[in-house]
Structure 1
Amino acid sequence: MANELLFLWLAAFPLMGSPGPATMSLAGLGTAFGFRSSLSYLLGIIAGTTVVLLLIATGATALVLAQPLLLTALTIVAGIYILYLAWKIAMAPVGPMPLRLEQAPAFVPGFSLAIANPKAFAAIGAVYAGHTLVADSPMVDAVLKLAALALVIMIVNTLWLGFGATFSRILRNPTVGRAANVLFASMLVVSVGFALIAASET
């Protein structure tokens, strides 16, 4: 089982940790507001992505995908919020951290974005369905995969926030800081486009 777990992680970390709406929003918020101020949003992303994992494990995603109107509504709402989030990141205060009084988005926005993130469904679904840890016990296999992938969710999202926060400490110059915020905001919008294209092709 150790080898199967290793192969699962080797697939999960690059696939689930690659740039997407959730990871890019975390990096952008880390840059714009710092690590500590964005912790509540991080917890929302982790919780929401874990719910996506549970939906995939229980087969509940099939019920969502079977409702085109619900899926379209979720996509539209998520797209609108991501555009707002990209604007918030691009326009966040820059300069020394003590002067950044504006608050980063909290738990609920992070949770909502994770739930409506098409990249999460595609990446987690591919990893979950493509690996078996315990062939002769579906229940044990499901529990172990849930635990292993939940760990991946926590690690990759925390690393992306830390990556962005590292930039927030380096980019003290207001001009450079503004440019970094706009760059991360643009990457967030682009990542959403790629995620939606990938989801429409599956």
Structure 2
Amino acid sequence: MIEALIYFTGAFFLLIITPGPGVLSVAGVGSGFGYRTGVRYIAGLWLGTNLVAIAVVSGLAVVLETVPELQLVFLVVSVAFLFYLAARIALAGSTIAFARAVKVPGAVDGIFLQFVNPKAYVVHGTLFVSFPLGFESTTTEIIVKFVLINIIWVPVHFAWLYLGVSLKRMALAPATQRRINILMALAMVIVVVLALLQGQGMLDG
């Protein structure tokens, strides 16, 4: 059982530590809007990821895997939202007139991002199905996995927030800070492109 726990935590750590929409957006929100906004955004992401995990356990992931049209809807909505969030990060602190009305990201944005992100369903589906821990009780195993996931998830996302906030607190010149925000947003756009390519592969397959 100990070996199974190590495999499970190692797999999840590798899945969550690598740059993806969640952690990149956390760093971008921290860099563009600061610590308090970042904490609210993380709270939304945390609630969203646990709701997705609950949905996976209850069988929604199976529905997503068997209905290509539903996969397409989730993919289009998630990509559109990621572009929207990237634009908000890129325009944070900008002197462009219309950018001043850009809404600060909050908990609702974090929840929505996780809810429409097909990758979140795939990751949690893999974790809850492919890594049995050896408990006799299915309920116990699910609870243990939820606890382990959250123990890893929370500090990793706060580490990315710290990275983003640290860039903001360096008292960089406004132009430099804007360039950093734009780079953060571009990184998210790259993730969006990769999501599109991966999603197209899933739909074609």
TM-score, normalisation: structure 1: 0.86
2-structure distance, mates of 1:169, 1:28: 13
1-structure distance, mates of 2:73, 2:148: 31
Q: Is the contact between residue 118 and residue 196 of structure 1 (CA under 8 Å) also seen in structure 2?
A: no
- Unaligned 5+ residue runs, structure 2? 95-99
1-structure distance, mates of 2:186, 2:107: 23
- Unaligned 5+ residue runs, structure 1? 95-99
Query: Per-residue deviation at 1:132?
Result: 1.7
Residue equivalent to 1:132: 132
Query: Per-residue deviation at 1:110?
Result: 1.1
1:110 corresponds to 2:110 = yes
Residue equivalent to 1:14: 14
One-letter identity of the residue aligned with 1:75 = L
Distance change in 2, residues 1:114/1:84 (3 Å): same
Residue equivalent to 2:161: 161
One-letter identity of the residue aligned with 2:159 = L
Query: Per-residue deviation at 1:182?
Result: 0.6
Residue equivalent to 1:58: 58
Instruction: Give me the identity figure in percent.
Output: 29
Q: Is the contact between residue 38 and residue 104 of structure 1 (CA under 8 Å) also seen in structure 2?
A: no
2-structure distance, mates of 1:49, 1:93: 29
Distance change in 2, residues 1:200/1:102 (3 Å): closer
Q: Is the contact between residue 89 and residue 181 of structure 1 (CA under 8 Å) also seen in structure 2?
A: yes
2-structure distance, mates of 1:200, 1:126: 20
Distance change in 2, residues 1:178/1:60 (3 Å): same
Query: Per-residue deviation at 1:77?
Result: 1.9
Q: Deviations over 1:148-194 (max 9, x none)?
A: 11332323222222221111112521121111101000000111222
Q: Is the contact between residue 30 and residue 165 of structure 1 (CA under 8 Å) also seen in structure 2?
A: yes
TM-score, normalisation: structure 2: 0.85
Q: Is the contact between residue 21 and residue 188 of structure 2 (CA under 8 Å) also seen in structure 1?
A: yes
SS at match of 1:170: coil
Query: Per-residue deviation at 1:58?
Result: 2.5
Residue equivalent to 2:97: none
Residue equivalent to 2:150: 150
More off after superposition, 178-187 vs 59-68 = 59-68
Query: Per-residue deviation at 1:196?
Result: 3.7
Q: Provide the aligned C-alpha RMSD in A.
A: 2.4
Number of residues of Structure 1 aligned to a counterpart in Structure 2? 198
SS at match of 1:134: coil
1:36-115 to 2 correspondences below 5 Å:
36-93=36-93, 104-115=104-115
